[in-house]
Structure 1
Amino acid sequence: MGQLWDKLGDLSRSNMYPYHMPGHKRNAGCGMDTALFFDHDITEIDDFDNLHDARDIIMDCQNRANALYKAGETYFLVNGSTCGVLSAISAVTGDGDTILTARNCHKSLYHAAYLRNLKLEYLYPQRISGYDFCGAVKPEDIDAALKAGTSIKAVFITSPTYEGVYSDVRAIADIAHSYGAALIVDEAHGAHLGISDRISEGAIEGGADIVIHSLHKTLPSITQTALLHVNGTIVDRDRLKRFLRIYQTSSPSYLMMASIDDCITYMTANGNLWADSLMSYHDKIIDATRQLQHLEIPDDNIVNDPCKVVISCRNTSISGSQLYDLLRTRYALQPEMACETYVLMIITGMDTIEGIDRLIEAVEDIDRRLGFARDMRLKNDTLSTDTAPKAIKTLRDAWDSGFEEVILESAVGRIAGDFVNLYPPGIPIIVPGEEISQDIVSTIRDSLSKGLNVQGISETGKIRVIT
């Protein structure tokens, strides 16, 4: 157990009566279905420190996390990686500054741009040849953009991507720093990187100035728990902590912080064993599915992250959404997400042999059944990400403008008044202030028709445009 959880348990077993928040009064025996952890759920009382001014047990917990990841400083996040992204970008930019960002970044980057009234210059990740997802951001593209750009304060990239592709953070960090720009890496899906020699190094070792980890995505910690790490001297740490106080709740959950601490304690003691299990599961899946005739599971030359298993149906008669439904309904396997031509599964060191075998058997069975399907290849007509839609207004000006909702066909030539995202992972098709083209409308229509989760389109099929 982690130190914080143990201390909460000591309090629960003591005769100290709670005349303070929360309102459940640690009464775990009240009969409510959700009362299981009431006895460990407290507020900032004596002897339990304060996340926003950590000097005692929470400071010790953060220091243990820092020792595991070997960063300059590490901070607990209980509002998920989103608050880490908001705080990181706010800390290194001022009103109206410019940030260089990959177009495939999470929507929290765009929210930070709105809040700080930032100008965005875009990078375009490589496309994975033959597969319908983004690859790495090329260091030479960053170098060219920084050379051509004026007063770019920071570079923001996502590595690994949702599908598990790494960028060369070490090379990118060297380039960014040579131009005096900070490098922020959204490593939300890579909290496991660098914890063992069996797994690749992460962005901290690569020299990024700020790295954000979602512990709950791949490590044993409850949903919404995350970490922010800061390195070097470019980032003003007092300024960063100020924004953490702004974007994090003033009532941080001790259950979440205890879960973070327990996760760090577990991984410190068992990280190599966890990594051995992960790599064993990953290698077993790859080796067992090499002879598939119709479905494909790319190996680590394409999907670098061992936590990600991409099941491609690009050369079959079914879509990613149909494959997703098959895995759920016929085999009782819940995927992470579906896109047009693939399904994404997440594995970790906490999986089981039984679970891994079930996945292999399901994929093999579906592959056999597809052998009897008629040969109908899906057309890959996804919108190219080589160029972004034309920005007519700044994100802030557009989002603060009046708007109306119109049918998609009437939106061509209008300026977007809100985001339209494919979710997960939350990457925007269109950003407020950008001109809606016929290609954008076609992409949205196509995504909806394939059963993908498109956020920003109303139930009546309308989109917001500024008036």
Structure 2
Amino acid sequence: MKAGSGQGRTPLREALETVAAGGRLRLHTPGHAGHGPRGPWPDPYWDLTEVGPVPAALEASQAAAATAYGTRATWFSAQGATLPVQAAVLGAFAGSARPVWVDRASHRAVAAALLLGGIPVRWRQPRLGPGGVPLPAADPPPPGVAGAVLTRPTYDGLLTAQDLPDGGPVVADEAHGAHWYCRPGYPASALELGADLVIHGSHKTEAAPTGTALLHLAGGRVEPAAVRFWWETLASSSPSYPLLAGLEAMVAARFRPPAAAAWAALAAGARELRDRLAARGWVVLQRWWEERGGLSDPARLTLLGRGAAALVRAAGLEPEKETPASVTLILTPHLRLEWVAQRLLALPVPEPPPLEERPWPLPAAALPMREALTRGGEWVELAAAPGRVSRGWVIPYPPGIPLILPGERWDAEVVAAVREAGTAEGLEEGRVWVLR
């Protein structure tokens, strides 16, 4: 290609303009759905670096947030929930000789932290529910673990009614439950249940710009200096202050009565919508899970049925996540729920998948992750992968959960799971990276 031939092209901006002007209702992240309060983040006038009073103001804003959330410390992230997850896991467990009890259905940020810290792990194995949707694990922690890293809730807003485990520190990845804290009608936040470190992916549901999140430190089992060290090690030295200002605006607004009332009304309306959809013949995952004794987030709506995502899109709704037999929507007060209800209730109801559970595919570990990454690799067809040891990971997104990690051995179940996912990071033209 001739040098300079792409000069002046802005395909990303054009794509954003096309989608934004398309008229679909945004039932996906970010939570403001294009209708939240305006902030400074798109305006270059506000795009400053750490000059003058800006750094001290950020410290003051984080301290105010810690007071509002009742924590020892709260950090603002402009690197999504990935930075808070990794700083939390490493701050709590880096250098541990004992294994940490970790939900296998965790975001890849957790696996990356385990890799960076050389942290030994005992996996907590979840199950797969109807439509291939991950279900929360309910097994108790085994003896001898150093602590726990929990994903609470799942991407579809599911969680168990269990208390947090006793023993060592608890890190709760509550990225998809950022809107729960101190709000009636929603599950209790892990902050309210005694977790030591809690991650809130604020942009996922709250009126915060994409890429913003919070890390909360509570309790006394984790040293603040350890968390701060890893935060400063992993964080960009040039964060986007307009994004952080947008996050600050969300924190300032979320505890005011209008926000509380709007979220309470959403919880009631969303549960009513589930019942109306069930009366039409839809199988609603969250309703099914609650009937089995679990808890769910009213702001998540997962409809089960072959081709459900295509039906939802044809109605002018853009979902957050889909599988061949499910579609997941995020509901927030920034959308008129009745508009969503009218469109969903007018849809034909597809045949639901079997309402059954099956084990999560858990490949055997052949080598530690770090050791696998020091060895040479080659690309092989997915069909030829069983029996080979993975050199990389394979991660469908969403939900960003690794199906296999470096050092684990491919088997037929994992191959089937990758095929069911369709597209995934680490799957290149039908091939995967394995050790030679």
Unaligned runs of 5+ in 1: 1-33, 50-55, 314-318, 371-375
Q: How much has 1:443 moved relative to structure 2? A: 2.5
2:103 alignment partner in structure 1: 102
Q: How do 1:393-412 and structure 2 match up within 5 A?
A: 393-412=367-386
| Aligned residue type for 1:100 | W
| Matching residue within 359, 365, 379 for 1:384 | 359
Q: How do 1:124-135 and structure 2 match up within 5 A?
A: 124-125=125-126, 128=129, 130=130, 132-135=132-135
Mapped pair 1:117 → 2:118? yes
Per-residue CA deviation, residues 410-460 of structure 1 (Å, 9 max, x unaligned), is: 211000111111210111111111111122222222332xxxx3221102x
Q: How do 1:387-466 and structure 2 match up within 5 A?
A: 388-448=362-422, 453-459=423-429, 461-466=430-435
Mapped pair 1:142 → 2:140? yes
| Matching residue within 334, 344, 354 for 2:318 | 334
Mapped pair 1:291 → 2:279? yes
Residue pair 1:196, 1:271 contacting (<8 A) in 2 also: no
| Matching residue within 34, 38, 45 for 1:39 | 45
Q: How much has 1:198 moved relative to structure 2? A: 3.5
| Aligned residue type for 2:311 | L
Q: How much has 1:203 moved relative to structure 2? A: 0.4
Residue pair 1:68, 1:195 contacting (<8 A) in 2 also: no
1:4 alignment partner in structure 2: none
- Structure-2 change in CA distance of 1:113 and 1:396 (3 Å): same
| Matching residue within 263, 271, 277 for 1:275 | 263
The DSSP-based 3-state class of the residue aligned with 1:46 is coil
- Structure-2 change in CA distance of 1:93 and 1:360 (3 Å): same
- Structure-2 change in CA distance of 1:252 and 1:81 (3 Å): same
The 2-side partners of 1:367 and 1:295 are apart by 13
Residue pair 1:298, 1:310 contacting (<8 A) in 2 also: yes
Q: How much has 1:136 moved relative to structure 2? A: 2.9
- Structure-2 change in CA distance of 1:114 and 1:298 (3 Å): closer
The 2-side partners of 1:242 and 1:325 are apart by 46
Q: How much has 1:127 moved relative to structure 2? A: 5.2
Q: How much has 1:94 moved relative to structure 2? A: 3.1
Residue pair 2:127, 2:357 contacting (<8 A) in 1 also: no
Mapped pair 1:218 → 2:193? no
Q: How much has 1:297 moved relative to structure 2? A: 5.6
1:228 alignment partner in structure 2: 215
| Aligned residue type for 2:221 | I
Deviation larger for 399-408 or 60-69: 60-69
Q: How much has 1:303 moved relative to structure 2? A: 5.8
TM-score in terms of structure 1 length: 0.78
| Aligned residue type for 1:38 | P
Residue pair 2:41, 2:243 contacting (<8 A) in 1 also: no
Unaligned runs of 5+ in 2: 1-39
TM-score in terms of structure 2 length: 0.83
Mapped pair 1:304 → 2:296? yes
Mapped pair 1:154 → 2:138? no
Which fold has the larger relative contact order, with Cα–Cα distance below 8 Å and residues 6 or more apart in sequence? 2
- Structure-2 change in CA distance of 1:74 and 1:167 (3 Å): farther
Residue pair 2:131, 2:353 contacting (<8 A) in 1 also: no
Q: How much has 1:99 moved relative to structure 2? A: 1.7
Per-residue CA deviation, residues 354-388 of structure 1 (Å, 9 max, x unaligned), is: xx3343233333226x5xxxxx7757899731x62
Per-residue CA deviation, residues 95-131 of structure 1 (Å, 9 max, x unaligned), is: 4742210110111111111111222211123555x56
Residue pair 1:142, 1:172 contacting (<8 A) in 2 also: no
Residue pair 1:383, 1:439 contacting (<8 A) in 2 also: no
The 2-side partners of 1:391 and 1:437 are apart by 11
Residue pair 1:163, 1:303 contacting (<8 A) in 2 also: no
Residue pair 2:128, 2:358 contacting (<8 A) in 1 also: no
1:166 alignment partner in structure 2: 159
Per-residue CA deviation, residues 9-51 of structure 1 (Å, 9 max, x unaligned), is: xxxxxxxxxxxxxxxxxxxxxxxxx9951111111111112xx
The 1-side partners of 2:41 and 2:105 are apart by 40
- Structure-2 change in CA distance of 1:440 and 1:44 (3 Å): same
Residue pair 2:304, 2:352 contacting (<8 A) in 1 also: no
The 2-side partners of 1:346 and 1:198 are apart by 16
The 2-side partners of 1:246 and 1:188 are apart by 21
How big is the alpha-carbon RMSD for the aligned residues of Structure 1 and Structure 2? 2.4
The DSSP-based 3-state class of the residue aligned with 1:421 is coil
